[in-house]
Each structure stands twice: as C-alpha cells, then as structure tokens.
Chain A
Amino acid sequence: MQKLYAKLNKLFPLGELTCQRENLAFVTVSREHLRSVLLHLRDLEGFRHLVLLTAVDWIEEGAFQLTYLLSDRTEGRDIGLRVMLSREDAAMETIHDIWPTAATYQRELREMFGIDFPDSPGVNEEFVLEGWVDIPPNRRDFDTKKFAEENFGQRPGRETRDPANHMKEQLYPDGA
C-alpha cells in the first residue's frame, strides 16, 4: 500500500494515509482530484469494484466525510478514499457514470444526510423514508429520541433504572 501511495502521490496531490492492515488503507483526496484518482485506480491499478460509498458527519469540524471504498479482487486489497465536504449546502459530483451502483448510494446519502449529488439518476426520489418532514435523520444534529417522543404515541410505564442504584435500594432499603 505504501508503494501504491508513493506512486499515486507523484500523479495527484494526496492527503494523509492511514494503513489499517497490510491490504487496507485510507487516503484523503481533495474534491477536485477525486474523479481522476477514481478513474486511475479503476483503469490502471485494478480497483474495479466499488464496495461502498458512505458518509460520516463531523459536526464539530462542520464537515461531511465521504468514503469511497474500492476493492481490487485480483490482488486482494482495498483502498478507501476520503473526501471532506463543507457541511453547509453539502454537494458532491456524481460518479454514477464510473460505477452505476453509486447512484443508489448517492440517493441514500441524499436522503439520510442531505448531501446533494446533482445529475445522479433518481437522486431526489424517496429511498427508504416516505413523507419525511424533518432534517435528514442520519445528521448528528437530528435528535432521534426527541423526534420519536413528539411524533409517536408512547405507551406509559416505560422507566429505566440505573442498575447499581436499583440494587442498592433493593438490598439496603434503609440506606446502610
């Protein structure tokens, strides 16, 4: 992986490298170089398979991280490309013309994180949620507990106890 990184680094300005294993590494790539890096990896390095495209919400840094995980079946190695996006009006160029499956991932990211991928087929259609009215639910500023309490009728009687305190009260009721 170090070899591949050195090779790539000559062609593109790359960011930080994280080696998870012998055959798994993550590289930070700038947004404008992502497309050419993906094409280079697919066509010249043998990473023909897009395993997944997912996002991480770094709310403290005000950024979304997109991770493009690619797999090279013949060599048995994987590489993840990290792209950082601004959290405000998050949008990214579509890659559905490189891997058609990316359209589905992009549609999901649009719905769950609100990251737009202009020109990706069907990106604005509903994916899992129907008639969603709040902010995208996988964003970290979305309070799922509060939403559930306001939106759904709750059955009364659900209470949670701290096990340590509860057992103390059960075993030593007079507070010994």
Chain B
Amino acid sequence: MKEELKKRIIKGPDGFEFEVDPIRDYYCEARPAVEPPAYMKIVEDLFNWARAESLWILGFGTGCGAIEMRPLMTPRFDAYRFGVQWRPTPRQANLFIISGYLSVKTLKRAIRSYEQMQNPKYVIGLGSCTINGGMYWDSYNTVKRLDDYLPVDLYIAGCMPRPEALLAGFEELKRIIRAGEGEGANRYAENFDWYKANQKRVIHDWDMPDYNW
C-alpha cells in the first residue's frame, strides 16, 4: 500500500496529535446502491429519452482507440450533432469509452474513473482488445474481456473501428437507453462483490478503497 494511504499520526498546527486513516477518512465507505426507476413507466421513458440525447463522454483514452475520437470531435464527423460531447472529468461525464487495450495499470485508473462518474452511466468497449484481448490475447499485462471488470453496455468491434462505426455505435447505445436497457450502473451495484473479486484478481497491489466516489 502507498505511503500516503497508510494510517498515521499527524500533529496539527496547534500541537494536538490525531490519527488519520486515509482510506476511511478521505473516502466514503458506502457501497453503490441500485437506483430504482421512476414512479411511472411513462416518466421513466421520458427520462431515458432525455438521457439518450445527452451522451457526455469521459475524455480518457486507454489505448490506441482514443485516436478515433479526434476526428469525431472535429468538423469532419462532428459527433456533437448527435448530442455527444467530450468532458474532461468523470464528474461531468456519463459515458465511458474504453478505447482499446486495457493494461492492468490502466484498469486501476479506469475503475476509479468509472466509480466517480454519476448515475446513470454507460460503458462502451471499443475495438477487439476489449472483447477478447484482440492482438494482445497472450499479453501478460492486458485484460482479455472488459465485462469481467466493468459493466459494458455495448461493444464496437474492429481493429480499429472507423469513426462511422462509432457513430453507429452511439445510435445503437441511444436505442438501448431508450429501451430502458442501459442499466450498467445498477448491474455494477447489484453484482458489486463479483466485479470487485474479478478486479482484485488481476490488480495485485490493490491500494485504493473498494468504492470511491
């Protein structure tokens, strides 16, 4: 565990000594909770329609697939006309695109970023690497299937998929959300222990809280 996460005694400016346990004091210990649907189906449908029209992507490129997002956010393909935009922080985003191969080191950051995003949130696996490891199928340091670690709503196959494939993927994700099937965050909360067990099986130096938001 990292030095700054260890329990320690700190002396305040007034000379008073107190104990700090960063994992307990700086993070909330509560587990993620399942968010129930709205009180009427027609209201939930309205919400889902609204959600589908506002896909804000977390600008976190995990692998080479991130290069396909640059033409998408510029005038050539202009994804903004579909209600899709990129945001710099997890707090402002609701769509996490895992763009390509995911190394164990990056998986750690991806989990933290995913957990910090606000509900409802969606995950797209982009490229063959997220589906079955792709060309990194025998690599010692990349995960082979993304849905063991994060709840994936949609995969876009290809190595690399073209920006057009991503646009088609966004349309498909919108259809999934409008149909009320974009329940990744709830799946994550329901199967939290299963996801955590999988994550801890590959991340050998687990030095973060189990759930951080």
Q: Chain A residues in contact with chain B, CB under 8 A?
A: 128-134, 137, 142, 144-145, 147-148, 151-155, 157-158
Which of chain A's residues have a CB closer than 8 A to the CB of B206?
Answer: 131
Verify if B81 is at the interface (C-beta below 8 Å from A): no
Contact assessment for B204 and A131 in the assembled complex, using a CB-CB cutoff below 8 Å: yes
Contact assessment for A137 and B140 in the assembled complex, using a CB-CB cutoff below 8 Å: yes
Which of chain B's residues have a CB closer than 8 A to the CB of A131?
Answer: 104, 203-206
Question: How many angstroms between the C-alpha atoms of A137 and B141 in the bound complex?
Answer: 9
Task: Name 20 A/B residue pairs within 8 A (Cβ), A-sorted.
Answer: A130-B104, A130-B205, A131-B205, A131-B206, A134-B140, A137-B141, A144-B139, A144-B140, A148-B138, A148-B139, A148-B140, A152-B143, A153-B144, A153-B145, A154-B132, A155-B131, A155-B144, A155-B145, A158-B132, A158-B137
Q: Chain B residues in contact with chain A, CB under 8 A?
A: 104-105, 108, 131-133, 137-141, 143-145, 148, 198, 201-206
Question: How many angstroms between the C-alpha atoms of A133 and B141 in the bound complex?
Answer: 12
Q: Which listed residue (A128, A137, A144, A148) contacts B144, Cβ 8 A?
A: A148
Question: How many angstroms between the C-alpha atoms of A154 and B142 in the bound complex?
Answer: 11
Which of chain B's residues have a CB closer than 8 A to the CB of A142?
Answer: 140
Question: How many angstroms between the C-alpha atoms of A145 and B140 in the bound complex?
Answer: 7
Question: How many angstroms between the C-alpha atoms of A130 and B203 in the bound complex?
Answer: 8
Contact assessment for B145 and A151 in the assembled complex, using a CB-CB cutoff below 8 Å: no
Question: How many angstroms between the C-alpha atoms of A130 and B201 in the bound complex?
Answer: 14
Closest to B131 in A: A155
Contact assessment for A130 and B105 in the assembled complex, using a CB-CB cutoff below 8 Å: yes
Contact assessment for A153 and B148 in the assembled complex, using a CB-CB cutoff below 8 Å: yes
Given A148-B139, A158-B132, does the pair A130, B145 have CB atoms closer than 8 Å? no
Question: How many angstroms between the C-alpha atoms of A134 and B202 in the bound complex?
Answer: 12
Within the complex, the shortest CB–CB distance from A155 to chain B, in Å, comes to 4
Closest to B204 in A: A131
Contact assessment for A152 and B108 in the assembled complex, using a CB-CB cutoff below 8 Å: no
Which of chain A's residues have a CB closer than 8 A to the CB of B145?
Answer: 152-155
Contact assessment for A148 and B137 in the assembled complex, using a CB-CB cutoff below 8 Å: yes
Which of chain B's residues have a CB closer than 8 A to the CB of A133?
Answer: 204
Closest to A158 in B: B132
Contact assessment for A151 and B132 in the assembled complex, using a CB-CB cutoff below 8 Å: no
Which of chain A's residues have a CB closer than 8 A to the CB of B141?
Answer: 128-129, 137
A sample of 11 more A-B contacts (CB under 8 A), given A132-B204, A148-B133, is: A129-B141, A131-B203, A131-B206, A144-B140, A148-B137, A148-B144, A152-B144, A152-B145, A153-B144, A154-B145, A158-B137
Within the complex, the shortest CB–CB distance from A161 to chain B, in Å, comes to 15
Question: How many angstroms between the C-alpha atoms of A158 and B203 in the bound complex?
Answer: 24
Question: How many angstroms between the C-alpha atoms of A154 and B202 in the bound complex?
Answer: 13
Question: How many angstroms between the C-alpha atoms of A158 and B108 in the bound complex?
Answer: 26
Question: How many angstroms between the C-alpha atoms of A158 and B205 in the bound complex?
Answer: 30
Closest to A142 in B: B140
Question: How many angstroms between the C-alpha atoms of A124 and B202 in the bound complex?
Answer: 22
